[in-house]
Amino acid sequence: MIRKVLIANRGEIACRIIKTCREMGIATVAVYSDADARALHVKLADEAVHIGASPAAESYLNGAKIIAAAQRTGADAIHPGYGFLSENAAFAQAVIGAGLIWIGPSPAAIEAMGDKRRAKLLLKGVPLVPGYSGEDQSDETLIAAAGEIGYPLMVKAAAGGGGKGMRRVNAVDELSDALAAAQREALAAFGDNTLILEKYIERARHIEIQIFGDTHGSVIALGERECSIQRRHQKIIEETPSTALDDDLRQRMCDTAISVGQQIGYVNAGTVEFILDEAKNFYFMEMNTRLQVEH
């Protein structure tokens, strides 16, 4: 039984978790930085613990302080929300190692899906965009692989998300500059400059499937979100159901998303993202191992 939850987050998501916990009769502990001393989530929680200065690196990204706050208040579990440490496998493992319940997927699942390259190599029977996900990251190998894939193509950071470390390349003379820029951006944003290459899908739709897994091995899909309206690779408008999916296609995409969850023993909320082309072929793109902001 979980009787008290520490919420390792702030703002809207912390408030929503507090509301749900209250409806379930579960006590809540908020954490806050200097900047959030008078924030709404601090006022709504049953208890609140100051964990550091305003910069996130000194507060919401400091896992040791968060775990210490949970232990000091007698919390049974930690809920990471989204952002901050929600997809940090080392933090998830530290929470479990401290004898607390981690409300999220296993550290192994977070790690497996956190690297786009590794995820593509791991999954079986899941349609993938034609591309290169090899270990050899030399310019010569990447340029040769790009020639086999064909143009246009996408250069992506293996550890990336949110459009960081991502470049569209239309011709071979653009490739070297795009590789260098993507590597610099990926290293700065994620501390990892590993890249993957993917065939660019013209006039593609971005469809994501919400899944949930329990600790007994069951995984279900709760339907899709159409996320194709974007600016600079950031989603602007989402719609459900998608007007591009019929019942058969929806079922096949949901079944594939469930398969992804089953293959990695997924627990809790997660989002499997797909690219859908004009011929209604769909391809696995990535998985977000956390509660999605768009929920």
Please say whether the beta carbons of 283 and 120 come within 8 A: no
What pLDDT, in 10s, does the model give residues 123-148?
A: 999 999 999 999 899 999 999 999 99
Q: Which of 270, 279, 147 is nearest to 212 (CA)?
A: 270
Evaluate if residue 295 carries a pLDDT over 70: no
DSSP 224: E
> Which residues, 6+ apart, have CB-to-CB distance to 32 below 8 Å?
10, 39, 41, 42, 48, 49, 50, 51, 59
Q: Cis peptide before 80, with omega less than 30 degrees from 0? A: no
pLDDT, tens digit (0-9, with 9 covering 90-100), for 181-219: 999 999 988 888 999 999 999 999 999 999 999 999 999
| High-pLDDT (> 70) share of the chain, % | 100
Known catalytic residue: 290? yes
Q: What is the mean pLDDT of residues 258-262?
A: 97
Count of Cβ atoms closer than 10 Å to residue 198 Cβ? 22
How high is the pLDDT of residue 288? Answer: 93
CB neighbour list of residue 223: distance below 8 Å, 6 or more residues apart? 209, 210, 240, 241, 250, 254
pLDDT for 89-100, tens place per residue? 999 999 999 999
Report the predicted TM-score, pTM, of the whole model to 2 decimal places.
0.86
Helix orientation angle between 89-97 and 63-73, rounded to the nearest 10 degrees: 30
| Mean pLDDT, residues 66-73 taken together | 98
Given the residues 10, 117, 167, 290, the one annotated as active site: 290
Q: Work out the average pLDDT over 30-39.
A: 98
Give me the pLDDT at residue 161, please: 73
